[in-house]
Structure 1
Amino acid sequence: MRGAAQRVRNAQTGRDRDRLPVVDVQRAALDDRDWPGGAERSGHREIHGRAEPLAHRHVRDGGLVPLLNRKGFTLVELMMALLLFSMAATAIVETFSLHQRTVGAQAERIALQQNLRAGLAVLPAELRALNAAEGDIVKMSATSITIRALRQLAVLCQVPVLGGASVTLTVRQTPFYGTQFDNTRDGIYVFYDGDESLRSDDAWVSGRLTSAPVNTAKCSDGKPAYSFTTSLSLGALPALTGRIQSGAPVWGYRQTTYGVFQQADGRWYVGMKDSSAALTPVVGPLVGSNGLRFTYYDANGLVTADSSRVARIGVAILSQTATPVRQGSVSAATYQVDSLSTYTTLRNNPRW
């Protein structure tokens, strides 16, 4: 039985192999989907009689792998990246701005302190050479002082003839320190030695120039010299020739005023002027009209208003930065203020 059934199946298989394929002649042309791989080329495939886009196919389908392997970012990821970048950029800008403000504030404070030190270098140097008992303080107040400020130093090279209303002085051209003598503005001090065996009659004799200096004069040794006439005030000292000797020092002074003044921009400065010249800034800007203070003391350390009794002068300067400064993270810019003070002893103070 089994042999007969096997022969029947073999016969049917042979008949099927001998059959020719049947072609539907009613189709005028073949669609791409009828060819192997045609569905992939057309972007669709047949699933249960309908076309399905390739994007819906399974990842294991070979034609989809290049599309699904593409890299990219979502909108949320881009927004987060922009947020982090903005935060970092803001922090960098704030750090840089803080650094710039700190550097600017330090530069302004350094300039302020240098300004104060310069002021306290000039004023004490001028005041230290004064002798109030001899009238070197012409006028004084809490915010200004007018003095005889030393401007020249020379050496006599001829013995002057005393006893007349006018005395001719001859000084060496070398050495000579300071500006040239000006008979319209300058006065002089000449050292009066008196009796060489005594110290009690030594003094500085003051005078005013009554003629312009002549630069063609000669010393007793033939060296170049300046010559000018003066009106010396000897007071009770004997007007004897020889009491002022050759080689005696000659100081030239110019009446000078230091005080507070306000410039056209409305800011206050410590100014200086000599004779008829206008005030020029020396230190500043100050905090106001009270940015400079003078305090005058006598030999006992008591405050005095008598210019001839002044033995010590206190100077205080209160200054501020030239421009407003922002400190650290403070939003408002303000002027930084600093001050310096000192005390200067005059030549007539017997305690020093």
Structure 2
Amino acid sequence: MLTGRAVRARRAGFTLIELLISMVLMGLVSGAIVKLLLRQQRFYNSTTDLIQTRQQIRQAAAMLPSDLRGISSVAGDIYAMSDSAIEFRSVFGTSVVCANIGGMLSTVPRVLARNSTMTSWARPPALGDSLAVYNNGPTAALADDGWTRFQITAIPTPVTTNVANGCPVTTGLTQAGDVSAINPSYQLTLSPAAPASIAVGAGIRFFRRVRYRIYRETDNQWYIGFFECLAGRTPACDLTKPIAGPFQPYAPTGTSGMQFAYYDSTGAVTADPLQVARISLVVRGQAAALMNLSGAGGTLFRDSLRIEVGLRNRR
């Protein structure tokens, strides 16, 4: 039986209890997602630090041995050495004598039309650099043959044409057009003057005094540093520049970020630069911040690498 009362339709919706339960569940899920994202971010940052630490170790391991292998201890290449630093005569280039005029030597240009390479250097020679030139000696006997050392006493003169004081084609080492403004020969003024017994075709090795050491920078981190010296420059040695790091701090207890040990031909430890036949180098890397890979708490990541380098012309 119908009445005059209107029947009010029920509206679909949530009760207060259902809303509270939904909010709690959403909070739990959101918290779990945020926690997961934070853990992923920490893992990513820690992995990046780990990779960077190992990369710095590899960088040091790639740079130092290549320089150390060129040392000739019997020739006096090592100026100073300790457990945390080494200073020595470093080879930065080679060339061939193309002319010897009045005791001044000229080099073969770097690029030749025949695609052969007789000159290669990391940078052109400069005033104050030293070099060793193979000297055949005044006689045909082998006894007076050997390497003679000189120092460059004037800014090397670039020779841009095939003239006599450069690298003329008459030497047979160059062809017409090999010598140019962008591919010059360098005439070197030396002390002492080169003797006449140094002939065209003699080998040249260019040297510069360098030093590697572990030191603390202004950010209080320890790095492997490098500087080079040139005689006649003021100051003779430039400032130490970081080339890799950070590493573990220096310590005399055998845990330094970079540690040298020196051995003679019998394998005994030596402090005599003229007796060094092998250099042992240990590089110990250290992350710049705490790492958290497992989520159990931050730890300071460390890694190390040991390298043995045999020297040339050793006793």
TM-score (ref. length: structure 2): 0.80
Residues 281-336 of structure 1 deviation map (CA, whole Å, 9 limit, x = unaligned): 011111112211001011111110000010110111112123332223134x4432
* Equivalent of 1:189 in 132, 139, 143: 132
The answer to whether the 8 A contact 1:152-1:252 is kept is yes
Instruction: Using the aligned pairs only, state the percent identity.
Output: 29
Aligned ranges for residues 71-86 of structure 1 at < 5 Å? 71-86=12-27
Equivalent AA in structure 1 for residue 240 of structure 2: L
Over 3 Å counting, the alpha-carbon distance change for 1:209 and 1:200 in structure 2 is: same
**Corresponding position of 2:182:** none
The answer to whether the 8 A contact 1:205-1:233 is kept is no
**Corresponding position of 1:211:** 154
Q: 1:126 and 1:285 mapped to 2: Cα distance?
A: 21
- The offset of 1:159, in angstroms, is 4.5
Residues 261-300 of structure 1 deviation map (CA, whole Å, 9 limit, x = unaligned): 1111111111000011010001111111221100101111
Q: 2:279 and 2:147 mapped to 1: Cα distance?
A: 22
Equivalent AA in structure 2 for residue 313 of structure 1: I
Aligned ranges for residues 312-351 of structure 1 at < 5 Å? 312-331=278-297, 333-349=298-314
SS of aligned partner of 2:35: helix
- The offset of 1:89, in angstroms, is 1.3
**Corresponding position of 1:277:** 238
* Equivalent of 1:229 in 178, 189, 192: 189
Over 3 Å counting, the alpha-carbon distance change for 1:76 and 1:196 in structure 2 is: farther
User: Runs (4+) of structure 1 moved beyond 3 Å?
Assistant: 193-202
- The offset of 1:202, in angstroms, is 4.3
**Corresponding position of 2:43:** 102
* Equivalent of 1:258 in 198, 209, 212: 212
Structure 2 residue 107 is matched with structure 1 residue 171: yes
SS of aligned partner of 2:107: strand
SS of aligned partner of 1:83: helix
Gap regions ≥5 residues in structure 1: 1-35, 42-62, 162-166
* Equivalent of 1:247 in 201, 205, 221: 201
Over 3 Å counting, the alpha-carbon distance change for 1:201 and 1:302 in structure 2 is: farther
Residues 73-119 of structure 1 deviation map (CA, whole Å, 9 limit, x = unaligned): 33222222222221111111111211121121111111111111110
Over 3 Å counting, the alpha-carbon distance change for 1:233 and 1:138 in structure 2 is: farther
Over 3 Å counting, the alpha-carbon distance change for 1:96 and 1:199 in structure 2 is: farther
Higher-Rg structure is 1
SS of aligned partner of 2:187: strand
**Corresponding position of 2:115:** none
The answer to whether the 8 A contact 1:213-1:228 is kept is yes
Residues 30-71 of structure 1 deviation map (CA, whole Å, 9 limit, x = unaligned): xxxxxx834x26xxxxxxxxxxxxxxxxxxxxx46x34xx43
Structure 2 residue 140 is matched with structure 1 residue 180: no
SS of aligned partner of 2:147: strand
Higher relative contact order (CA 8 A, sep 6+): 2
Q: 2:101 and 2:277 mapped to 1: Cα distance?
A: 32
Q: 2:296 and 2:143 mapped to 1: Cα distance?
A: 66
Equivalent AA in structure 2 for residue 126 of structure 1: D
SS of aligned partner of 1:157: strand
Q: 1:147 and 1:344 mapped to 2: Cα distance?
A: 15
Q: 2:312 and 2:192 mapped to 1: Cα distance?
A: 21
Number of aligned residue pairs: 278
Q: 2:70 and 2:58 mapped to 1: Cα distance?
A: 19
Higher helix share: 1
Q: 1:334 and 1:264 mapped to 2: Cα distance?
A: 24
Aligned ranges for residues 90-129 of structure 1 at < 5 Å? 90-129=31-70
Residues 233-286 of structure 1 deviation map (CA, whole Å, 9 limit, x = unaligned): 99xxxx7x43x3211121111100000111111111110000110100011111
Structure 2 residue 96 is matched with structure 1 residue 131: no
Structure 2 residue 99 is matched with structure 1 residue 146: no
Q: 2:277 and 2:17 mapped to 1: Cα distance?
A: 82
Over 3 Å counting, the alpha-carbon distance change for 1:188 and 1:213 in structure 2 is: same
Gap regions ≥5 residues in structure 2: 112-118, 160-164, 180-184, 230-236, 251-255
The answer to whether the 8 A contact 1:206-1:233 is kept is no
* Equivalent of 2:247 in 286, 296, 317: 286
SS of aligned partner of 2:267: coil
The answer to whether the 8 A contact 2:46-2:291 is kept is yes
**Corresponding position of 1:306:** 272
Q: 2:20 and 2:143 mapped to 1: Cα distance?
A: 96
The answer to whether the 8 A contact 2:134-2:148 is kept is yes
Over 3 Å counting, the alpha-carbon distance change for 1:202 and 1:80 in structure 2 is: farther
- The offset of 1:228, in angstroms, is 1.9
**Greater shift in the superposed pair: 221-230 or 189-198:** 189-198
